[in-house]
Structure 1
Amino acid sequence: MSSALPARAGVGFKDAYFTAIEESAPAVGFFEIHAENFMSAGGPPHARLTRLRRDYPLSIHGVGLSLGGAQALDRAHLDRVKSLVERYEPAAFSEHLAWSTHGASFLNDLLPLPYDDTTLKHVVAHVDDVQQALGRRILLENPATYLSFESSVYSEIEFLEEIARRTGCGLLLDINNAYVCAVNHGFAAEDYIDAFPMRRVEEVHLAGYTEDIDEAGGRLLIDAHCAPVSMAVWTLYERALSRNGPLATLIEWDRDIPAWPILMAEATHAESLLERRRLSGHDQTRSEDSHDVVA
C-alpha cells in the first residue's frame, strides 16, 4: 500500500520550472508528473526529477494505460510504468477512467465510456491488473467528457464507486472535470460534488478550461489545462473540502504554461483554502470502509 500524499497544495512539475524551484525551495506540498514524460532510461529530465524527489513527495499521473479499453492492457507500457514507480516510490499513482487504444493504435486522447456492466467488468479487471503489477493501490480519476452514451445504466458516480468497492482503489476527484461535464451535459455541478464518495478521495485536481460553442450554439467547455482555475471551480473546491476536510490538491497547468510565480499564486490560494478548513476544525479522517474490496 502506498503512503498518502500530504493534505497540501501541489503543482505539476515542468523542466522549465526547475531553476526557480532550486532557487526558491517553494513551500508546496508535493509535485506531480505525467508518467509518459519520464519513460526514458535516463538523461537530464531524470536527473532533475531525482533531485526534486529528495525534497518533496511525488505523485505520478498516468495518461496511457487505457483502463477503460475493451482489449487487454499493454503489458510493455505497464512494465514501463512499474519501473518508474519503483524508481521514484511516489506517494500516489493515478490514472483516468477513460480509454485511448484501439488494436495497436494509441489515440492520444482520453475517450469516454458507456457506464454499463460490460465496461465495468473490463475496468475492474484492468484496475486489478495494474494494482497487482505495481504492488499498490491506485487512484482513479473522474473524466472530462463531451458526449454521453444512451446505453449507460450507471451514473458516473455510481460507476466510480462500484469500481472502488470491487477493487479497493482510491479516487481522484478532478473538480474542473466535474464542472466541465456539468456545463456540457446540463446538470448541476453542486449536486455532483455533494454526491461524490468523498471518503474514497485521496487527491483533488484543479485546473482551468477554455470555452467554445457546440453545433447547437450552446456553451461547450474544454478541459484544456491552459488557464487559471475559474471562480466556479474554486467555489466547488470549497464545497468539496467542507464535506471531508483538507485533501492533497494539485494545480494542473499543462499547456501555455505560465511563469513560475503565476503557478505558485494558484497553489498559494489553494493552500489558503486548505488552511482555512484546518482552522475550522473540519480536518476529518476517512472512514475505515473507504478501502473495502469485494472478491
Structure 2
Amino acid sequence: MTPTAGLGFKPQHFSDAMASPAVGLWFEVHAENYMVDGGPRLAMLEELRRDRPLSLHGVGLSLGNAAEPDRDHLAALKRLVDRFEPALVSEHLAWSRFEGRSFPDLLPLPRTNEVLARLSANIGQVQDALGREILIENPTHYLPLSQHRWSETSFLRELARRSGCKLLIDVNNVAVGANNIGFDAASWLLDIPAKLVGEIHLAGHSHDAGGTLLIDSHDEPVSELVWSLYEDFIGRIGARPTLIERDGNVPSFDELLRERDRAQAVLDGGLRLAA
C-alpha cells in the first residue's frame, strides 16, 4: 500500500466517503463487523473498495490464547480477505477467548518464552490460512504484570522474526501505556526497527475520574503528545500507511478528514526526507 493516511470507516459517513476527493485516502474496518452473509454492510464495502484501498483490522482472533485460533472465526476472516482483497490485514497482541467464551476486551499477556512460542505459532497458522502476511498491533497497558521476561520492544522484534509478521504500531497505545505504567514513549518508539513497521494507528484517549490514568477510548481527537511522537517516529522510519481511529463521540466526516490531512502532511514530509 502507498504510505498515505486513511480513516476508520463509519457507515454513517458512507456518502461523504464515496464523494471525497482526498488523494490517497483509504479506509479500515473491523473485520468482525463484516462477517455476515449479505446485507448493506457488505454492499457498502463493495462500493468503497472500487475506488479506495481497504484494510481489515481484526479484534477477535485471540492470538494469545492457549488454544489455536478458532477455526470458524479464521474461516470467516479468510472469506472476507478473499472477497475484498485488502491492502493490509492486522490483529492485536492480546487474548479474548477462554474455554469457548468470548470476552468484550483485548486482555494483556505476560511476555514469557511460552507465550512467545504460542503467539508465533498462532500467527503462523493465520498467515498460512490467509496466504499472506499480517500485522500485529502493540497493546495498551493499564497495570504492570510481574511475569514479564522480555521488554515489550524486544518481544515484538522476536515475535516478528519468528512468525514473519510485521508490526502495526499504535502510537496512542504507546503514549497511554507510558503514562500508566511508567516508561518513556519516545525511547520505546526508538527501539522499533523501521523495517518491521507496516502500519501506524493514531487515536485519542481520555482520563479516568481521578485524572491520572489514561484510557485508550478512541473518543477524542488525537492528542498533541501523540502527534509529536508520531512526527518524530515518521521522521526516523519514513512514511508508513497511517490510520486515524475514532470509535466514540464520532464527529462529522469533515472533522475526521482534517485529522487525516494533518497525518498526510506529516507523511508528505517523511516522503520528501526519504527522497
Q: TM-score range by the shorter chain?
A: over 0.9
Distance 1:13 1:250 in 2: 10
Q: Which residue of 2 aligns with 1:166?
A: 162
Is structure 2 residue 220 aligned with structure 1 residue 227? yes
Map 1:43-58 onto structure 2 (within 5 A).
43-58=39-54
Mapped to 1, the partners of 2:243 and 2:184 lie a distance apart of 23
Match of 2:140 in 1: 144
Equivalent residues in 2 for 1:115-130, closer than 5 Å: 115-130=111-126
What is the Cα deviation at residue 278 of structure 1?
2.1
Which residue, out of 72, 88, 91, partners 1:76? Answer: 72
> Shift of the alpha carbon at 1:27?
2.9
Correspondence for 1:88 among 84, 104, 125: 84
Answer whether contact 1:206 1:233 (CA < 8 A) is retained: yes
- Equivalent in the alignment of 1:240: 233
Alignment of 1:1-295 (within 5 A): 5-212=1-208, 219-279=212-272, 281-282=273-274
Which segments of structure 1 move beyond 4 Å, counting only runs of 4 or more?
none
Distance (whole Å) between structure 1 residues aligned to residue 161 and residue 223 of structure 2: 32
5+ unaligned residues in a row in structure 1: which ranges?
Answer: 284-295
Question: Could you tell me how far apart the structure 1 residues matched to 2:159 and 2:238 are?
Answer: 24
* Code of the aligned partner of 2:252: A
SS class of match (1:181): helix
- Which amino acid in 1 is paired with 2:19? E
**TM-score after normalising by structure 1:** 0.91
Distance 1:278 1:96 in 2: 28
User: How far apart are residue 240 of structure 1 and its match?
Assistant: 0.6
- What is the aligned length? 275
**Residue identity in the other structure for 1:97:** L
User: For 1:208-239, what per-residue CA distance to the aligned partner results, in whole angstroms no more than 9, with x for missing partners?
Assistant: 001115xxx67101101111000000000011
RMSD over aligned Cα atoms: 1.2
Deviation per CA, 1:241-265, whole angstroms, max 9, x where unpaired? Answer: 1111111000000112111111000
Equivalent position amino acid for 1:32 in 2 = E
Q: Distance in 2 between matches of 1:218 and 1:55?
A: 43
Matched residues in 1 for 2:113 and 2:19: separation?
52
Distance 1:39 1:229 in 2: 29
Deviation at 1:28, TM superposition (A): 4.1
Paired letter, 2:78: K
Residues 103-155 of structure 1, C-alpha deviations (whole Å, 9 max, x = no match): 11100100100000111111011001100000000001101121222111001
Secondary structure at the aligned position of 1:11 is classed as strand
C-alpha distance in 2 between matches for 1:158 and 1:276: 29
SS of equivalent residue, structure 1 residue 124? helix
Letter in 1 for 2:255: I
Q: SS where residue 213 of structure 2 aligns?
A: strand
Q: Taking structure 2 as the reference length, what is the TM-score of the superposition? A: 0.97
Please tell me the residue identity of whatever aligns with 1:250: L
Q: 1:73: how far off?
A: 1.4
Q: Partners in 2 of 1:247 and 1:72 — Cα distance?
A: 31
Per-residue deviation at 1:29? 2.9
- 1:262 is paired with a residue of what secondary structure? helix
